[in-house]
Chains A and B, each alone.
Chain A
């Protein structure tokens, strides 16, 4: 029985989220680091798109993971961790946005998001993603947030209304406008 401890590290990369969550609930910080490695990129990306700033996005992603550590024991068995993280992160991001910039409702987020997907070798797929990124970046903030929460955060209409503190009818309106804009402007890519 010489060196099996090293093996365990690799094996943790192999097991399901559920197993890592169980270990984290029991206090295993290595397992939790494994979960951060798996879900950190998407969470940071969504937070960055929501806030328009990578620094703020990273900080919010950190807070989300910190909160996740505390709330993991209450996570229902089998509940998808990724969805849970994206929702919690979204909540934190929107609270953050409300407290730091309460009054720029409706303004297109100029520096918000266009830059991320463009810094790479252009190929068909990359160009399409860059186009979508630009279209999203040009949407009014509420419309953009509704779209991000719906399509990237996986929230339903009621949850979005709750998060954005808007009536559900407004959320429907924002999503309809966002969808129409994106649908029209992305038509050439279909």
Chain B
């Protein structure tokens, strides 16, 4: 199997060389290529091929249509078996023989749901920091959020902190000493969808 591409431009450059040059993002700039009309023409042809290849895959994806419901359910059923429940956080019960716990995963789920009730806020991640497995130990909750760009940040964050504080006090026995909110992203639909 020979590795050489017989196609050579009349200027002496090969399609292969040009393709390598493209793969390097045309760096460092090669004046013998960048000033040669034939090379530039071939480069644009190669770029077309790459663009068309990506277009083809996207088009394939559209042609395939929506996956069957079973296909999606197959994935979701499998991952449901690998629930990320995290630590068991204790809940007091008057009867000492009874042990009750709420999983960290359930608390995270609660935090996401509460986030969903605050306009303009979507919870990204949340961490429960501290020795949450020991009743009464101080615990810090840190959430990252995406904020609707049309909302002003301060009231939204204050509203989120209040809502989280109330919900965590109601549904858990965590000794929350701080709720940290960090905006890591913004969202919001643009007025019009792009055409393709």
Contact B112 A28 (CB under 8 A): yes
Contact B84 A26 (CB under 8 A): yes
Contact B63 A117 (CB under 8 A): yes
- Within 106-132 of B, Cβ neighbours of A (below 8 Å) are at 108-109, 112-113, 116-117, 119, 122-126
Interface membership of A151, Cβ < 8 A: yes
Interface membership of A79, Cβ < 8 A: no
The digit string for A152-184, where 1 denotes a CB below 8 A from any CB of B, is: 100010000000000001101101110110111
Contact A116 B187 (CB under 8 A): no
Contact A152 B54 (CB under 8 A): yes
Residues of A within 8 A of B56 (CB): 117, 129, 132-133, 136, 152
- Tell me the nearest residue of chain B to A44, going by C-beta: B64
- Within 11-57 of A, Cβ neighbours of B (below 8 Å) are at 11-12, 14-16, 18-19, 22-23, 25-29, 32-33, 36, 40-42, 44-46, 48-49, 54
Contact A5 B117 (CB under 8 A): yes
Contact B116 A8 (CB under 8 A): yes
Q: In the complex where A16-B185, A116-B60 touch, is A180 in contact with B108 (Cβ < 8 A)?
A: no
Tell me the bound Cα distance from A15 to B184 in angstroms: 11
The digit string for B86-111, where 1 denotes a CB below 8 A from any CB of A, is: 10000000000000000001001100
Contact B4 A176 (CB under 8 A): yes
The dominant DSSP class at the A interface is helix
Most A-side CB within 10 Å, residue of B61, B75, B189: B75
With beta carbons under 8 angstroms apart, the residue of B46, B57, B74 that contacts A42 is B57
Residues of B within 8 A of A84 (CB): none
State the Cβ distance, B29 to closest chain A Cβ, in Å: 21
Residues of B within 8 A of A170 (CB): 1, 3
Tell me the bound Cα distance from A15 to B91 in angstroms: 34
Tell me the bound Cα distance from A187 to B59 in angstroms: 21
User: Which of under 10, 10 to 19, 20 to 34, or 35 or more describes the interface residues of A?
Assistant: 35 or more
Residues of A within 8 A of B117 (CB): 1, 4-5
Which residues of A approach B to under 8 Å, CB–CB? 1, 4-5, 7-8, 11-12, 14-16, 18-19, 22-23, 25-29, 32-33, 36, 40-42, 44-46, 48-49, 54, 58, 62, 65-66, 69-70, 116-117, 119-120, 128-129, 132-133, 136, 147, 151-152, 156, 169-170, 172-173, 175-177, 179-180, 182-184, 186-187, 189-190
The 5 residue pairs across chains A and B that have the minimum distance between CB atoms? A41-B61, A45-B60, A8-B116, A173-B3, A22-B125
Which residues of B approach A to under 8 Å, CB–CB? 1-7, 15-16, 19, 23, 45-46, 48-50, 52-64, 67, 71-72, 74-76, 78-80, 82-86, 105, 108-109, 112-113, 116-117, 119, 122-126, 144, 146, 148, 184-185, 187-189
- 24 residue pairs bridging A and B, Cβ less than 8 Å apart: A4-B119, A8-B116, A15-B185, A19-B122, A22-B124, A26-B126, A27-B83, A32-B79, A41-B58, A42-B58, A49-B57, A116-B64, A129-B59, A132-B56, A147-B53, A151-B53, A173-B2, A176-B16, A179-B5, A179-B15, A179-B16, A183-B46, A186-B48, A189-B52
